[in-house]
Structure 1
Amino acid sequence: MNRLLERQLKRSGVEYSALPESVRRFVDEVGRSYDHHDADRALTERSIELSSQELVEANRRLAKEAKNQAALLENLRSAIAALSSGDDPVLLPAGFNAADPVALSDFLIQQFTRKHEAEETVRIYEMAVRSTSDGIVISDATRPDNPIIFCNQAFLQTTGYPAEEVIGKNCRFLQAEDKDQPGLQVIREAITNRLGCHVRIRNYRRSGEMFWNDFRLSPVFDAQQQLRFYVGVQTDVTADVMKQELATTLLAQRQELLHVAEEILAARTETEIVHTVVHRLGNLLPYDTASIYMTDAAAGVLRPIALLGPRWTSPDLDAWTIPEGTGIIGSIIRSGKGELINNAHRDPRSRYPDGATIATEHLVVHPLRTGEYVWGAFAVNRMSDRQFTDEEFEVLQFLASYGS
């Protein structure tokens, strides 16, 4: 390769071997032109010493080289045109000497380098989009109803849909039948006005499960400021929303517990305390039945002093008396430690000596004590599939401690 051309390539930061085959052919042509140019200069210096016949031959060769150079220029222009695209045309700068093959070859190498770097940048962006944990969709704003033309793996994993059920659809399919959401109107207005937006909306997975979507929408314009695409980024924030809702619930529970504590402190009789606890219970958590048992050591039994809940209708308290030390309630009075027992019907202690089994699904029992003396128990149960949580266990523990 001509040494001058090799230095030009190195100065542009391009390796000859990295050039496409078509460009390498043009570069080779330029190199040969450089070599001939060097020979021509030497020939000119010696021309006064050449015979007339030698000058004729030299002129013929120069004419041939001129023809070859014209072909080279045409090839270089074709290569430059081949690098152009609708979105990124390659145009010669104003005042550019398009008849100079060296200048043209330099320009071609510069544009190839720029295109190569741009393609590498696009590949990096594509890798980032595909590897991010946020779901990303791109819709075509130039087509009716903004159909999705791209979605990354994170989007598919979050929604549970395969790509073939996503591409070509509008993103609204994730709303299912849940259309009445303030955030959806914000999205519609942003699209109408060709703007971006950031909302939190309810979306639905392929399984039908709802999830909270922290959704960011951004329009993409081309060089002529024509709207081409919308990029949507979704983040599943269901866990965060549930934590916030739980915090709100717990705050309300704590405020209710303060009211309960105030009423218990103001109560003058045991009956008033029992009434406060059992009637305030429904404001704190859902339940089916609640009971307060006291030990009757002389009779060797546990007697209910209060039975409450939608499943109790004018209960006969004496009918619910149980032998001391039996069942889950008797076991907890004996141990002095409260327990949260979900799926209580499977607990071996749920079976009484007469063969009867406790009729409950989930149960929380706390002992009632004065100092170290355990004199009874406070029990709350649910017949539904909803199990008790640790937070609810603590609420009931507070009621049992304050009430006793």
Structure 2
Amino acid sequence: MASNDSAETTGEATGTVVGRRKAARYMVPVAVAGVAAVTIGLVPALADSGDPDLPKITAQELVEKIAASDEEQLSGTVKISTDLGIPSLGGLAGSFAPGGQGSDSTSSAAPDAKLMELASGTHTLRVAADGPDRQRLSILGEGSEYSVVHNGDDVWAYDSESNEVYHARSEETGGKAGKHTAPKGVPTTPKELAEEALAAADDTTSVTVDGTAQVAGRDAYQLLIKPKQSGSTIGSVRVAVDASTGVPLKFTLSPSSGGKAAIDAGFTKVDFAKPDASSFSFTPPKGAEVTEADELKAEAGKKGATDKAQQDLGALEDFKGVNVIGEGWNAVAEIELPGGAGLPADGSGDMPAQAQQFLDALGDKVTGDFGSGTVFRTRLVNALMTDDGKVYVGAVTKDALVKAADTAE
């Protein structure tokens, strides 16, 4: 294996790829950790055939190679394995997701609800893309399959287990072309995950080339991204970058606490040839129940908002925004909840039993100069909710959250 220069980048070096603001430096580590919890990423190849001997490349050159990659046609088989250390959500996530059981109008095929299942466990997917207007994602289950197909102005989702179909026009999804196979704002490829990680690369971050690998039968360089600061729950992000195209093939996020990767995602098979047009065609199967997005919207409009929803909307008017404490990977967002209320007291009846049980499983009571509150912990993103209605959240340890709350103005 050829020796690769491990050139460490600075804020100026990576600044040629992505712009930064203080808020962005906070959001990216959290987005990489949490998002990636509900999103479509791709796990590593099942078997590698050895490290390839590739020409030397610096970290800066590899970052630029990722930014310059413009492959919009591909197909392949992928896997995603997510272990955030969160207790099983069961049916809870679907109940509160759009189109879930907690909504006035439901469809088990609605993408926002179904894709929440990727928040934990290991899943096998098939993907295909042909430019910004045609993509297909299929989640393979035991004897069942869930697919989301974006073809021009139409977005179709089909759940074979329930034989339900969800249909929306592009303008109804609220997103831009090419972003319809996942909830708005969720990265849908290893490339997008890698770019978000690189957006955090300033002088608090080490970015180096750490050897080579072979992923899905393709030669790749390995880009290693690590926080320089202590106190972050993120230990490292490793991205395998296709040596030929610059496309990230594998994304692995490891927690600072050690153990298995929190997110291990990568292609097991990939082809950059133009997929067959039939990959993006869809006709509802005979007997399937079809739900139209515009009909759901019209039905919700007729019912009107409930008193509780009106109260919630009114409370949002008091929202005072986000204050960022610290910088880089140790940045913590301070959020003042509308109305200044903390968590409902146990047994108050203000929270569903499932939700209360879930929060109790994560909660850890803490005190400090700020007063008292509860820290909700995962392997990556932690949050402190104070008894007086403030929330501190970040990809940092419990002690770092308490310190941030103590020093908040």
Which category of TM-score, normalised to the shorter sequence, fits these structures?
Answer: under 0.3
Q: TM-score of the superposition, structure 2-length normalised?
A: 0.19
Q: TM-score of the superposition, structure 1-length normalised?
A: 0.20
Q: Which has the higher contact order (CA 8 A, sep 6+)?
A: 2
